[in-house]
Amino acid sequence: MFRLSETISLRLPRETIKKLRELACKEGKDRSTVIREMLENGIEEKSLDQAIELYQMGQVTGWKAAQIAGVSLWNFYKTLSEKGVLIQYSEHDLEEDLKA
Protein backbone atom coordinates (compact mmCIF):
# COMPACT_ATOMS: atom_id res chain seq x y z
CA MET A 1 0.00 0.00 0.00
CA PHE A 2 1.35 3.41 -0.96
CA ARG A 3 1.01 6.12 1.66
CA LEU A 4 1.69 9.75 0.99
CA SER A 5 4.02 11.24 3.52
CA GLU A 6 5.22 14.65 4.53
CA THR A 7 8.51 15.61 6.09
CA ILE A 8 8.38 17.51 9.35
CA SER A 9 11.12 18.82 11.58
CA LEU A 10 11.16 19.31 15.32
CA ARG A 11 13.57 20.30 18.01
CA LEU A 12 14.32 17.80 20.74
CA PRO A 13 16.55 17.96 23.79
CA ARG A 14 19.89 16.22 23.36
CA GLU A 15 18.97 13.65 26.00
CA THR A 16 15.85 12.67 24.05
CA ILE A 17 17.89 12.33 20.86
CA LYS A 18 20.37 10.14 22.71
CA LYS A 19 17.57 7.90 23.98
CA LEU A 20 16.07 7.66 20.49
CA ARG A 21 19.44 6.67 19.08
CA GLU A 22 19.81 3.98 21.77
CA LEU A 23 16.31 2.62 21.11
CA ALA A 24 16.92 2.53 17.37
CA CYS A 25 20.20 0.69 17.87
CA LYS A 26 18.62 -1.87 20.24
CA GLU A 27 15.77 -2.51 17.79
CA GLY A 28 17.99 -2.53 14.70
CA LYS A 29 16.00 0.29 13.12
CA ASP A 30 16.83 3.76 11.92
CA ARG A 31 15.88 6.68 14.13
CA SER A 32 13.15 7.91 11.76
CA THR A 33 11.38 4.55 11.91
CA VAL A 34 11.46 4.53 15.71
CA ILE A 35 10.09 8.09 15.86
CA ARG A 36 7.36 7.25 13.33
CA GLU A 37 6.32 4.14 15.29
CA MET A 38 6.27 6.06 18.56
CA LEU A 39 4.14 8.83 17.04
CA GLU A 40 1.70 6.33 15.55
CA ASN A 41 1.39 4.54 18.90
CA GLY A 42 0.91 7.87 20.67
CA ILE A 43 -1.81 8.93 18.25
CA GLU A 44 -3.63 5.63 18.75
CA GLU A 45 -3.39 6.00 22.52
CA LYS A 46 -4.58 9.63 22.40
CA SER A 47 -7.54 8.66 20.19
CA LEU A 48 -8.48 5.94 22.67
CA ASP A 49 -8.20 8.34 25.61
CA GLN A 50 -10.42 10.88 23.84
CA ALA A 51 -12.98 8.20 22.99
CA ILE A 52 -13.05 7.04 26.61
CA GLU A 53 -13.53 10.60 27.81
CA LEU A 54 -16.44 11.18 25.41
CA TYR A 55 -17.96 7.87 26.49
CA GLN A 56 -17.63 8.70 30.20
CA MET A 57 -19.29 12.08 29.64
CA GLY A 58 -22.17 10.32 27.91
CA GLN A 59 -21.59 12.16 24.64
CA VAL A 60 -21.16 8.98 22.59
CA THR A 61 -22.22 5.35 22.78
CA GLY A 62 -19.74 2.54 23.22
CA TRP A 63 -20.04 1.72 19.53
CA LYS A 64 -19.30 5.30 18.46
CA ALA A 65 -16.43 5.57 20.95
CA ALA A 66 -14.92 2.37 19.56
CA GLN A 67 -15.13 3.83 16.06
CA ILE A 68 -13.44 7.05 17.22
CA ALA A 69 -10.68 5.01 18.85
CA GLY A 70 -10.29 2.82 15.78
CA VAL A 71 -10.83 -0.42 17.71
CA SER A 72 -13.52 -3.09 17.81
CA LEU A 73 -16.38 -2.71 20.26
CA TRP A 74 -15.09 -5.79 22.09
CA ASN A 75 -11.61 -4.27 22.49
CA PHE A 76 -13.09 -0.95 23.57
CA TYR A 77 -15.13 -2.56 26.34
CA LYS A 78 -12.13 -4.69 27.31
CA THR A 79 -10.02 -1.52 27.62
CA LEU A 80 -12.73 0.16 29.72
CA SER A 81 -12.73 -2.83 32.04
CA GLU A 82 -8.92 -2.82 32.30
CA LYS A 83 -8.96 0.89 33.16
CA GLY A 84 -11.73 0.43 35.72
CA VAL A 85 -14.21 2.54 33.76
CA LEU A 86 -17.85 1.74 34.42
CA ILE A 87 -19.53 0.37 31.32
CA GLN A 88 -22.81 2.17 30.76
CA TYR A 89 -25.28 0.74 28.28
CA SER A 90 -28.86 1.89 28.13
CA GLU A 91 -31.83 1.16 25.93
CA HIS A 92 -31.12 4.42 24.14
CA ASP A 93 -27.54 3.24 23.45
CA LEU A 94 -28.88 0.01 21.99
CA GLU A 95 -31.22 1.94 19.69
CA GLU A 96 -28.36 4.19 18.55
CA ASP A 97 -26.06 1.22 17.96
CA LEU A 98 -28.72 -0.56 15.92
CA LYS A 99 -29.04 2.51 13.68
CA ALA A 100 -25.29 2.54 12.99
What is the DSSP secondary-structure string of 32-89? HHHHHHHHHHHHHHHHHHHHHHHHHTTSS-HHHHHHHHTS-HHHHHHHHHHTTPPP--
State the pLDDT at residue 100.
Answer: 65
pLDDT along the chain (100 residues), means of 10: 78 94 95 93 96 94 93 95 87 74
